[in-house]
Structure 1
Amino acid sequence: MVIDGIEMEEHSGDPGDSIAELLLRIAERDQAAFAGLYDALSSRMFGLILRVLVDRAQSEEVLQEVFLEIWQSASQYSPNKGQGRTWVLTMTHRRAVDRVRSAQASVERDVRIGIRNVGVEFDGVAEDVELRWEGRRVVHALQQLPEKQKEALTLAYYGGYSQREISALTGTPIGTVKTRMRDGLSRLRSKMGVMA
């Protein structure tokens, strides 16, 4: 079978199937399969984590945690419930969001008991507030976009999907996905007062 000019083995009719096969082998403690999964998805996973956390060092830590979780819980993956790639990327996103929530909870807890007042630089607090405010502005501006543009941008930047994957997920031609993303980003910049 040929997909996008690439010869695929007949049993892997879905690109996610190869990831599913690796996960099944990892469940049996196959180290070569684990290395194969790392080679296949680590850069996409790291990009997704970095978009959520922004901090490179924390993103590297979370990536390690996700791969440890995959090694320990690959037996819980069931191919009949979804694609392997989706399972891995969902786990990755969940772990990154958990890290953000944990950091926020820690800060809030420390502030409540007054420990954070010692040794905290004003600039760090100001930067945190500014990042949260900017995040809210982005979400608000994103909600004002037409539904199809919002969907494409959300899948790309929050879901970690490529334009080709978005095309497959939505059943939309790749050119249309690219146009929606380009136009959506342009409108987003305009709504936020950012010069292109």
Structure 2
Amino acid sequence: MTDKGSTTPTLLRLLEDVAGGSEPAFESLYEQTVRRVYRVALNVIKNPAMAAEIVQEVYLLVWTSAGKYDSSLGSPQTWILTLAHRRAVDRVRSEQSATERGARHAQEMGALKHDSIDETVHRSLMAETVRRCLSSLTDHQAEAIRLAYYGGLTYVEVAEALNLKVPTAKSRIQSGLTKLRRTLEVEGYDAYSR
């Protein structure tokens, strides 16, 4: 059970076969990625038993929705690790007390009431522009940024997911963000506005 040898083309092929219902492909995909998925879940949830449950949920989701994978949004490994991170974060949130959830919900609802239509439209347009501008980055930079910002992973988790040293992961993210900021400025967005 090792994920050191897993490569994007191999994982992509396996994921395509899983989408077609291949159990052997699913087993191979699982074997090549499970350790990283478990580490991501454990880093977020800090509970080995709950992390194991997250792993089961993630692979059930992979089995049922492999056909929905979009390679333009990142590698198969990025997709799977993002699923794991999101599931783990969701679990942490669901374990919080009802009082904390209620207070957070009330706070979010209050913030939404104060948003103007203009701000909502601006954020939506900005998000679309950022997604488009990600294509100006190298594949390595874009994948690291997607894991960090869309997947919510820390530098350490990004480094683990991409089999990199932490300084290399930080460098990819920071250089990617610098290039992204410049591209956004060319698109007419001031990096520090709003």
Name the structure 2 match of 1:38.
Answer: 30
Moved more, 75-84 or 95-104: 75-84
Q: 1:29 aligns with which of 21, 27, 31?
A: 21
Q: Kindly state the Cα deviation for residue 56 of structure 1 after the two structures are TM-superposed.
A: 0.8
Q: 1:60 aligns with which of 52, 60, 77?
A: 52
Gap runs ≥5 in structure 2: 103-147, 174-194
Name the structure 2 match of 1:92.
Answer: 84
Name the structure 2 match of 1:156.
Answer: 156
* AA at the equivalent of 2:55: L
CA distance in 2, matches of 1:83, 1:165: 19
Structure possessing the higher radius of gyration over alpha carbons: 1
CA distance in 1, matches of 2:169, 2:29: 22
Relative to structure 1, is the Cα distance of residues 55 and 32 closer, same or farther in structure 2, using a 3 angstrom cutoff? Answer: same
TM-score (normalizing by structure 1): 0.52
3-state SS, counterpart of residue 164 of structure 2: helix
CA distance in 1, matches of 2:154, 2:97: 25
Name the structure 2 match of 1:72.
Answer: 64
Q: Kindly state the Cα deviation for residue 108 of structure 1 after the two structures are TM-superposed.
A: 3.9
How many residues were matched structurally? 120
CA distance in 1, matches of 2:22, 2:52: 23
Contact 1:27–1:74 at 8 Å: present in 2 too?
Answer: yes
Identity of aligned residues (%): 34
Name the structure 2 match of 1:81.
Answer: 73
TM-score (normalizing by structure 2): 0.52
Runs of 4+ in 1 over 6 A off after TM superposition: none
Relative to structure 1, is the Cα distance of residues 157 and 169 closer, same or farther in structure 2, using a 3 angstrom cutoff? Answer: closer
Give the superposed CA RMSD.
3.3
Contact 1:20–1:84 at 8 Å: present in 2 too?
Answer: yes
Gap runs ≥5 in structure 1: 1-7, 9-13, 111-150, 173-196
CA distance in 1, matches of 2:65, 2:32: 18
